[in-house]
């Protein structure tokens, strides 16, 4: 669950300010935990049947056709969005690693680092399947804990910067508002485990006496405590030390001790390599299914080779075109993550369980839905504006 989105949290705080920032962080934590609980409960609500995929649950709630059309595009956007953001993250961290380890070297453009990072995936994408996803996940979990800890530890070590400022950076009122919107999306991007939660629960054995939701819910609670331990210190300490001068990726703001920051960036690269593959797998699966079943291609090695390379090339190309970590986070966070994380589970819950009107459950769900929809509408605007502003003085393909 702890993605590379955590690195953008101090920057999101700088756009939200102290009061709203803390409220948004805590509120997101509570809402996403609640919707996660709903997903875990709904996994086995029909006796003798388990919903192993997000879209199967969607089809049960909204009907065969409609369920697919609501859920699948959302999931595709989430998965492709994460892959694009991770291309940029991987490239940026490689560049920072290179610049930190060898500060006297000739500097290499970010474009080339994104290409270097992508080259790994041109190879990895052709592995038939991850037999040991658990191994990859364990490595990724250790990595993300490590770099989160390094991020706030090194910030504490650096101390509060002289002439630190906590005001809003934007000069105009409109600018402040749009930055605020974008920051909501950046926070939403950080809470993004819902797309795979049913697939994970599907691997837990279940009997009528001992349903899978017991162990699964315990796992979720532990995960969320770890998430809180990762996210809150990074967001609060990072903002406290750097104020509004913090970079959109906290590791870019830190310089010393060099070996530690280099190590943290390497951790990010390793973590993002694993995560990219995990998010790309379902996309490969979908594309190949459509090609073979609908368009009657032969399921050959060649087909897989072409499809997967095209996908990696596509994400690389978009990443090179818009290498703006913060803007991309805000844009995809609002556009894709808000629905699947904040309000789709609530709508399904209302559609399936039909709780009493104006009861507690009814109110809770509707509040989540309203907040989620607002988030979905406003944060892509903020993120897109940020991308446009950064693109003005950025030379494309320089």
Tokens of 107: 């500097």
Inter-CA distances, 301 with 209, 305, 322, Å: 45, 6, 32
Reported as a pLDDT band with limits 50, 70 and 90, residue 396 is low
What would the mean pLDDT of 333-350 be, rounded to a whole number? 81
What's residue 118's pLDDT?
A: 92
371 lies in a domain?
A: yes
**Residue predicted with more confidence, 160 or 2:** 160
- pTM score, whole prediction: 0.82
- Report residue 130's pLDDT band, with 50, 70 and 90 as the boundaries: low
pLDDT at residue 119 in the model = 92
Domain membership flag for residue 31 = yes
Could you give the CA distance from residue 346 to residue 208 in angstroms, rounded to a whole number? 25
Alpha helices in the chain (DSSP H): 9-16, 18-42, 54-62, 64-101, 110-124, 133-158, 173-190, 197-201, 213-242, 250-253, 258-289, 301-321, 325-332, 338, 344-353, 360-392
Domain annotation covers residue 383: yes
The residue with greater pLDDT, 176 or 105, is 176
Rounded to the nearest integer, the mean pLDDT of the chain is 83
398 part of a folded domain: no
Classify residue 105 by its DSSP letter: S
Tokens of 6: 């955590």
Which residue range is the domain that position 65 belongs to?
Answer: 4-392
Nearest alpha carbon to residue 93 among 228, 219, 251: 251
pLDDT the model gives residue 397? 65
Is the predicted pLDDT of residue 15 greater than 90, yes or no? no
Buried b (16+ CB within 10 A) or exposed e, 185-224: bbbbbbbbbbbbbbebbbebebeeeebbbeebbeebeebb
Q: Are 13 and 239 in contact (CB under 8 A)?
A: yes
Give me the pLDDT at residue 129, please.
Answer: 60
Whether 187 shows a pLDDT value over 80: the answer reads: yes
Q: What are the backbone angles phi and psi of residue 2, rounded to the nearest 5°?
A: -75, 105
Q: Which pLDDT belongs to residue 312?
A: 92
Residue with tokens 């592995």: 127
Residue bearing tokens 């999931």: 75
Tell me the pLDDT tens digit for each residue of 313-323: 999 998 888 88
Q: What is the CATH number of the domain that holds 142?
A: 1.20.1740.10
Which range scores top for mean pLDDT: 181-185, 191-195, 331-335?
181-185
What gap in Å lies between CA 327 and CA 106, rounded to an integer? 28
Mean pLDDT score, 258-266: 86
Contact between 189 and 84 under an 8 Å Cβ cutoff? The reply is no
Asked whether residue 111 is assigned to any structural domain, the reply reads yes
Total domains present in the chain: 1
Contact indicator for 196, 36 with CB cutoff of 8 Å = no
Tell me the per-residue pLDDT of 136-159, one tens digit each, with 9 for 90 and over. Answer: 777 877 888 888 888 888 888 887
Q: Is residue 397 part of a domain?
A: no
User: What local confidence, expressed as pLDDT, does residue 145 receive?
Assistant: 85
Question: Is 100 inside any structural domain?
Answer: yes
pLDDT given for residue 398 in this prediction: 58
- Please tell me the least confidently modeled range out of 43-47, 217-221, 288-292: 43-47
Share of the chain above pLDDT 90, in %: 5
Q: What is the pLDDT of residues 48-104, one digit of tens each?
A: 788 877 888 888 888 888 888 888 888 888 888 888 888 988 998 898 888 888 877
Asked if the structure places residue 269 within a domain, the reply is: yes
């Amino acid at each position: 669950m702890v993605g590379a989105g955590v690195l953008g949290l101090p920057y999101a705080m700088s756009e939200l300010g102290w009061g709203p920032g803390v409220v948004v962080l805590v509120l997101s934590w509570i809402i996403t935990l609640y919707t996660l609980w709903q997903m875990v409960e709904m996994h086995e609500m029909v006796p003798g049947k388990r919903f192993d995929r997000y879209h199967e649950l969607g089809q049960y709630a909204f009907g065969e056709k409609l369920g697919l059309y609501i859920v699948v595009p959302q999931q595709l956007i989430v998965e492709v969005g994460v892959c694009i953001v991770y291309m940029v993250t991987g490239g940026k961290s490689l560049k920072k690693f290179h610049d930190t380890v060898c500060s006297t070297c000739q500097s290499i453009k970010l474009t080339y680092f994104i290409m270097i990072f992508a080259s790994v995936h041109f190879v990895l994408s052709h592995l038939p399947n991850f037999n040991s996803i658990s191994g990859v996940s364990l490595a990724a979990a250790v990595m993300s804990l490590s770099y989160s800890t390094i991020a706030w530890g090194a910030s504490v070590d650096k101390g509060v910067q002289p002439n630190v400022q906590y005001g809003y950076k934007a000069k105009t009122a409109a600018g402040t508002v749009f930055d605020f919107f974008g920051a909501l999306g950046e926070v939403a991007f950080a809470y993004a485990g819902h797309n795979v939660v049913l697939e994970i629960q599907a691997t837990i054995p279940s009997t009528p006496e001992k349903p899978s939701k017991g162990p699964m819910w315990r796992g979720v609670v532990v995960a969320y405590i770890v998430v809180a331990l990762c996210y809150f210190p990074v967001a609060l300490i990072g903002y406290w030390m750097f104020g509004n001068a913090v970079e959109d990726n906290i590791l870019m703001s830190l310089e010393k001790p060099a070996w530690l920051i280099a190590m943290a960036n390497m951790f990010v690269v390793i973590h993002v390599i694993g995560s990219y593959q995990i998010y790309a797998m379902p996309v490969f699966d979908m594309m190949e299914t459509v090609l073979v079943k609908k368009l009657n291609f032969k399921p050959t090695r060649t087909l897989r080779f072409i499809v997967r390379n095209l996908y990696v090339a596509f994400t690389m190309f978009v990443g090179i075109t818009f290498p703006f970590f913060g803007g991309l986070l805000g844009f995809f966070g609002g556009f894709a993550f808000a629905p699947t994380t904040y309000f789709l589970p609530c709508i399904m819950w209302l559609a399936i369980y039909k709780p009493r009107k104006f009861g507690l459950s009814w109110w809770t769900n509707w509040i989540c839905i309203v907040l989620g929809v607002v988030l979905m509408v406003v944060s892509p605007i903020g993120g897109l504006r940020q991308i446009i502003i950064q693109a003005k003085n950025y030379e494309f393909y320089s």
